[in-house]
Amino acid sequence: MCERAGGVQSQQPARHLEAGLPDEVVALPEGSWGDGGGHRVWLNPETRWTWEPVHAAEARFESLARTAAFRPTDPLLDRLLTQAGREMLLLESSDWQFLITTFAARDYASLRVSEHAEAFERLAALAERRLVGGALGETDEHFLSACERRDDLFPDFAWRFYAGAATDPVALAG
């Protein structure tokens, strides 16, 4: 909107830096809307356990995406990776740590972290099996379909963006 009005022009950060370094640099202090302006709400002894599955899922998903990105189109693998990505995004929600720390819904949040971590792990394992030419059994197909029905948000989730290796969005679009 601002660009159309002529007041602001959009530009990629790399291109901006190529034009020359800024004359002035402003240091922005770290901050948060959390209790006391810090991160204690999200990272503390009660929530530390929630970050291990988050970090493991992120690393595993990026690896899966890089492996799958340039393979021939496989609708089943696409479904598996799309749903695994959705589970990862749900696992990453900062709501869980907030609810655990504030005791607002500690048991519920802990359960959701565990459920999304387990669903992600199973979907990732199925995707890994599919990547080496393996088939899914009936139980696996039912599990995938149940996850898709239960956690069907982010309809435009594009797992290929996690591949990182390609810079051509047309190539990543499949």
Total H helices, total E strands in the chain: 8, 0
Domain enclosing residue 146, as ranges: 38-172
CATH number where 146 lies: 1.20.1430.10
pLDDT at 165 over 60: no
In a domain, 16, yes or no: no
91 close to 158: Cβ distance less than 8 angstroms: no
What is the number of domains present in the chain?
Answer: 1
In a domain, 65, yes or no: yes
Which of 49-63, 103-117, 121-135, 151-165 comes out lowest in average pLDDT? Answer: 151-165
CA angle, corner 145, sides to 62 and 150, nearest 5?
Answer: 85
pLDDT at 55 over 60: yes
- Position 69 confidence tier, pLDDT thresholds 50, 70, 90: very high
For 15, the 3-state DSSP assignment is helix
Q: For residue 81, which of 57, 114, 56 has the smallest C-alpha distance?
A: 57
